[in-house]
Structure 1
Amino acid sequence: MSTQAPRRRPGGGHPGSRPAAARRRPSRRPTRADLYRRKVVRRRVGAILGMLVVTVVVCTVWFTPALGVREVEVLGTADLTADEVRVAAAIEPGTPLVRLEVDAVAARVRELPRVAGVEVERVLPGTVRLTVDEREPVAVIKSPGGVHLVDATGKDYATVAQPPDGLPELEVTPDALGAAVAVLTQVPESLRRDVLGVTADSPSDVRLALGGGREARWGSPADTARKAAVLEVLLTRKGSVFDVSSPELPTVS
């Protein structure tokens, strides 16, 4: 009796098996919903990472001395020293720059009598820059205790042993100080150079002592520009007293 081998089906392999290609599922292309979900996930992960970075930066800048004050730089001083300004500013080393109260620092520096103004700047990574505007004297008041310096605002801000060269002397009552300084600072520079002193018993009785023993009776600070123009003409005449307190009716005697 003869036996025959079972026939193979076309394509080979066991009769009960499928080809490998038939067993693999075809790959599915992502749908729009899948792409949208992936995009949303990426955005959320990016947002979380961004928030973490911002949080770390804020904590570093705000709460740690990493960007704290290491140096206080002082500019613009003449008679003051940089150390005097630093002491007045009272800035604690290591204070985070972003937490530095610049208005409070400026207010403390302005308490120095010689300071007319100050600019406070934060300079990364750890410097505070103080640019000081010192007062400049326009006149002096002599007293037994020394020579008082007076600036353009009429402030008596310092006392020195010797008066600076070229500044006129004020001999005025306290209520007339502002008027005397106003006249002195408003007259033209050509006239101001000839003023040796200013006297005033009241705000309406300002008088200028000029070189050559001459005197200009000014009156009040009103119409200073007009009075100065009239006085310039009067000074071409001979005389010792030039009254321009009423510029419409000036006199020379």
Structure 2
Amino acid sequence: MAGPTTTAERGERRQESSGPPLVRRLRNRRFRRIVIPVLAVVLLGSGSGWLLYGSPWLRVRHVSVSGTAVLTPGQVLAAAGVPVGAPMVSVDTDGIEVRLRRELPRIDAVDVVRSWPHGIGLKVVERTPVLLIEKGGNFIEVDKGGVRFATVSRAPEGVPALELSLSRSGSATASLRRFGTDRLVREAVEVARALPAAVRRDTRTLKVRSYDDISLELGGGQVVEWGSSENGAAKARTLTALMKAASGARHFDVSVPTAPASSAS
């Protein structure tokens, strides 16, 4: 016959009977809290990956072109080489931009954008000629940055011709040796950009003899001595005022804008 059970013995029995199952339950709950979210993330990631890369839904079905003026949308599409049918997420937009600028130098900038769920948009900005260089019966177009980007058989209207009339004089030879032809072309571009709008529209030829000897030949036979490309804004203002004050003059000199001159011949 068992003796009386003490309070200490009863406490030990309760601890023995309740301890291990309680620990197991706590461990199971902790395991579920960790494993179930991990499994959910894995399943969600697998589903998203399949949706983006493996499903037939988010794939390139059409490509649009905007912003063309001289180029045709067909030319842009052919040069872009967008992989129709490929997953939208896998399209290399940077690579397409680089390829377009390389294949079509007339393109100054292009933005390739995804239009979910099935479209790719090609937003093009074309270069605009500010000067023309005649060569072999054709015309080389030069943009505002001095880039020679295209050769055309017909001169665009309203774009002045650039004439490099580099004489063999000492100053012209030194100018060519120091700056080079490309630099002189860029100087001519700066002059063309600085011209007042009315004068720019009427300019037929922009003649470069040296770095600081650039002149304009206008449609009415008038000549403007511009000098270098420096102080372009001041020269433009002076020329506008001078042409109003001496409307019958044929020759204008704004090479030194603070001391302009005009004459009838």
User: What TM-score, normalized to structure 1?
Assistant: 0.77
Shift of residue 177, structure 1, vs aligned partner:
1.4
Moved more, 46-55 or 35-44: 35-44
Aligned to 1:134: 126
Q: Give the aligned partner of residue 67 of structure 2.
A: 76
Q: Which residue of 2 aligns with 1:51?
A: 42
Structure 2 counterpart of 1:118, from 89, 106, 110: 110
Deviations 1:86-141 (A, max 9, x none): 22112223332222221111000012121111000011112211111111222322
- The match for 2:258 is 248
Q: Once structures 1 and 2 are overlaid, which stretch shifts more, 167-176 or 59-68?
A: 59-68
User: What amino acid sits opposite 2:259 in the alignment?
Assistant: L
Secondary structure of the 1:77 match is coil
Q: 1:156 aligns with which of 148, 151, 155?
A: 148
Q: How many pairs does the alignment contain?
A: 223
Q: Is the Cα contact below 8 Å between 2:223 and 2:252 reproduced in 1?
A: yes
> What pairs up with 1:1-253 in 2 under 5 angstroms?
41=32, 44-62=35-53, 66-111=57-102, 112-172=104-164, 174-175=181-182, 176-235=184-243, 236-237=245-246, 238-253=248-263
Question: Alpha carbon RMSD of aligned pairs, Å?
Answer: 2.6
- Answer yes or no: is the 8 Å Cα contact 2:83–2:91 preserved in 1: no
What amino acid is the match of 2:122? Answer: L
- For 2:250 and 2:75, the matched residues in 1 are separated by 48
* Residue identity opposite 1:163 in structure 2: A
Of 61-70 and 134-143, deviating more is 61-70
Percent identical among aligned pairs is: 36
Question: How far apart are residue 46 of structure 1 and its match?
Answer: 4.6
Tell me the SS of whatever aligns to 1:164.
coil
In the TM superposition, residue 63 of structure 1 has moved relative to its aligned partner by 5.2
Larger helix percent: 2
Contact 1:65 1:95 in 2 (8 A): no
Partner of 1:248: helix, strand, or coil?
A: coil
Summarize deviations over 1:179-232 as a string: whole Å, max 9, x none.
111111122213322322211022322111123321111111110011111112
Distance 1:46 1:119 in 2: 40
Deviation, structure 1 residue 73: 1.5
Distance of 2:63 and 2:252 partners within structure 1: 54
Aligned pair in 2 of structure 1 residues 201, 64: CA closer, same or farther (>3 Å)? farther
- Which residue number corresponds to residue 13 of structure 1? none
Whether contact under 8 Å (1:88, 1:108) holds in the other structure is yes
